[in-house]
Amino acid sequence: MTSFRDEAIFALTNASVWLGRPGFALRCAFRLGRIPDFARPRGHNELVQWRKHFDRNPLFGTFCDKLAARTWARVRVPELRTVEVLWVGTEAEAVPPEFLADGYVIKSTCGSGRNYFPGRGRWTAAERARRFRRWLQPSGGPGEWGYTLVRPRLFVERLLGRPEDLHELNLRCNDGTVTVGFCVNGWKTAGAAGAYLSAAGERIEAWADEARWLSDDEIVPRELFERAAGYARRISAGIDQLRVDFLIREGELYLGELTVYSASGFGDEERVGVGPVIERAWLGAIGRSWFLSAPQRGLRARYAEAFRRWVPRRLAELAQSP
C-alpha cells in the first residue's frame, strides 16, 4: 500500500511533467494511446518516457553519438569489431567524391534513418547538400535529451555488404545481464523477418501479426548469440538499461549502435508480449540509473525517495503476473 505522502508526491511529479513540458506529455499520450503515469512508469514504453524526462546520465550523449559509442564500447571490449570508418567531417559539401560511389555508405553521427547508399540511387549534388546539411543539425525524437549532447558530423563507412547478406541482433541489457534479444534476417529489406529471443538465445513465441517471424532454424546460431551476449554483458555493466546492436555478416559480429531510447518508447514490446520481461529486468537494475544514484534537489529528491519505495511493490506485482 502506497502512503498518502508518496501518493501526493507522485501526483505532484506527474503534474510537474504536464505543466513543465506539455508538448512532450501530450505527444506521449497521443502515441501511447493513454494517459501515461510518468511518476510510476509501467511497461517498457513508459519506462523509456521516464528516462527521457528524469534521467540525465552524461553517458547518454556518448551512446547517442554513433562514433563516440563505438570508441567507448571498444575500451570495454578491445576485441570488438566495428565497420571501417574512412572519413569524418562537418561540412555538407566536403564528402570526398571518391566515396560517392558503390561500396560506401554515408551517415550522420546522430539520429536514425540518416544513411545514404550512393550505389543504390544517386541524389543530385543539390539534393545531397540539402540533406547532408539537415543531417548536421541536432536530431532525436520527443524528449530524447541525450541527442542534444551530440555534435553532429558526417562520416563514411566501407559498405559491409548487400542488405540481404546482413543480419541484425539487438540485445536488451540491464547492468551486465542480457534480458531479451531480437534478430532480423535480411536487414532493412522488404523480405526482412525477425524473432524475439530469450536470454539464452531461444526463440520467444510472439503474438501473430503482419510481420514474418523466423522459425527456429532461421535464428542466429547459438555460438554467435553467446559471443554477442558476452560482449553485451561487458558493455552494459553498471548501466540500468542499454540496447546493444550488432550487425552480422558471414558469421562475423560488428558493433552497430548503443541505443538509449529504443523505438523512442513507442515500440511493440508490450504488444508482442516481451514488455513485462524487459520491465522486470529494468526495474531490478534501475538503482543504477543516474536519477537514482546522483543527488537530486527539491521535489525531485522527494520523488526519488518515493520512487525507490515504489519499485519493490511494482516488482511484486509483476512477479504475480503470468
- pLDDT confidence band for 141 (50 / 70 / 90): confident
Determine the pLDDT at residue 1.
Answer: 67
Q: Tell me how many degrees the CA angle 224-65-231 measures, rounded to the nearest 5.
A: 20
- pLDDT confidence band for 190 (50 / 70 / 90): confident
d(CA 254, CA 83): 7
85-89 vs 154-158, strand pairing mode: antiparallel
Confirm if 188 and 208 have CB atoms less than 8 A apart: no
255: exposed, middle or buried (C-beta count within 10 Å: 0-12, 13-18, 19+)? buried
Confirm if 181 and 245 have CB atoms less than 8 A apart: no
Taking only the tens place, the pLDDT of each residue in 192-230 is 889 999 999 998 887 656 568 888 888 899 999 999 999
Alpha helices in 101-245 (DSSP H): 125-135, 222-236
177-185 vs 104-108, strand pairing mode: unpaired
Name the grid cell of 309: 519505495
Determine the pLDDT at residue 121.
Answer: 76
What value does the mean pLDDT take over residues 39-50? 97
193-197 vs 203-204, strand pairing mode: antiparallel
Taking only the tens place, the pLDDT of each residue in 145-178 is 999 999 999 999 999 988 788 899 999 999 999 9
What value does the mean pLDDT take over residues 54-62? 97
Determine the pLDDT at residue 209.
Answer: 62
Domain chopping of the chain, boundaries: 42-79+162-322, 84-158
Determine the pLDDT at residue 211.
Answer: 65
154-158 vs 167-174, strand pairing mode: unpaired
Collapse the DSSP code of 296 into the 3-class scheme (helix H, G, I; strand E, B; otherwise coil) and give the result. Answer: coil
Quick one: which of 169, 226, 174, 231 has its CA closest to 195?
Answer: 169
Determine the pLDDT at residue 87.
Answer: 98
Model pTM score: 0.94
What value does the mean pLDDT take over residues 72-99? 96
Q: Above 90 in pLDDT, residue 65?
A: yes
What percent of the chain stands above pLDDT 90? 80
Determine the pLDDT at residue 282.
Answer: 98
The CATH number given to 42-79+162-322 is 3.30.470
Determine the pLDDT at residue 227.
Answer: 97
Q: Name, in order, each residue with C-beta under 8 angstroms of 181's C-beta and a sequence gap of 6 or more.
A: 169, 170, 171, 172, 196, 197, 198, 199, 201, 225, 229
| Average model confidence (pLDDT) across the chain | 93
- pLDDT confidence band for 92 (50 / 70 / 90): very high
d(CA 205, CA 274): 9
d(CA 1, CA 96): 63
Taking only the tens place, the pLDDT of each residue in 251-309 is 999 999 999 999 999 999 998 889 999 999 999 999 999 999 999 999 999 999 999 99
Determine the pLDDT at residue 86.
Answer: 97
d(CA 243, CA 262): 7
Taking only the tens place, the pLDDT of each residue in 245-258 is 999 998 999 999 99
Number of residues in the chain: 322
Taking only the tens place, the pLDDT of each residue in 227-241 is 999 999 999 999 999
Which amino acid appears at position 303 of this protein? Y
- Long-range (24+ apart) CB contacts under 8 A made by 26-33 are 27/142, 27/143, 28/142, 28/143, 28/265, 31/266, 32/266
Collapse the DSSP code of 35 into the 3-class scheme (helix H, G, I; strand E, B; otherwise coil) and give the result. Answer: coil
d(CA 222, CA 285): 26
Determine the pLDDT at residue 313.
Answer: 96
252-259 vs 193-197, strand pairing mode: unpaired
Task: Give how far Cα 74 sits from Cα of 179, 235, 255, Å.
Answer: 22, 9, 9
